[in-house]
Homo-oligomer: A and B are copies of this chain.
């Protein structure tokens, strides 16, 4: 139920904004952290209005509606932010595949893991570029954006190192299973 809280948070940051405005922020700043589709966002703003956590504060041309958080909305947001423990994401597509890697020849398992290492390295490079274009930014969002970015950098480094280590483990397990050529003395 976090799209709801992301929307509340963005409205709290901005003071007021339309669904269209929020969608822009989601696509531009929150895409790596909590993506949202247009459909989902408009639906959620309707629900938030019904629940009186946000309120329409202005209507403009082209049917535009500007929303702002209510007192109840602010309270709900802060409760979520500080009181509710973040749920750890349990599903991991890569680890699920690792679990089944014994079903294919070692060489293919190695390729899979080295492919993951390469993908992590690529992700790291992309984030380094973002970092470069961020250094001259100022303000409080720069601090928190930088912290999130650092997470990505550390995560991709970890994933890269882990995947290369894991490929070695596969090789080690194979050579102990099938000692076709004994180690030189």
Measuring CB to CB, which residues of chain A are less than 8 angstroms from any residue of chain B?
A: 2, 5-6, 9, 12-13, 29-35, 77-78, 81-82, 85-104, 108, 111-112, 115-116, 119, 123, 140-141, 143-148, 150-151, 154-155, 158, 161-162, 165-166, 169-170, 173
Contacts and interface: CB of A to CB of B under 8 A. Distances in A.
Given A162-B150, A166-B150, A169-B147, A108 B91 contact: no
A81 B95 contact: no
Number of this chain's copies in the assembly equals: 2
A interface secondary structure, majority: helix
A111 B82 CA distance: 9
- List 3 A-B pairs, minimum CB-CB distance, nearest first: A86-B93, A102-B140, A9-B100
A86 B161 CA distance: 17
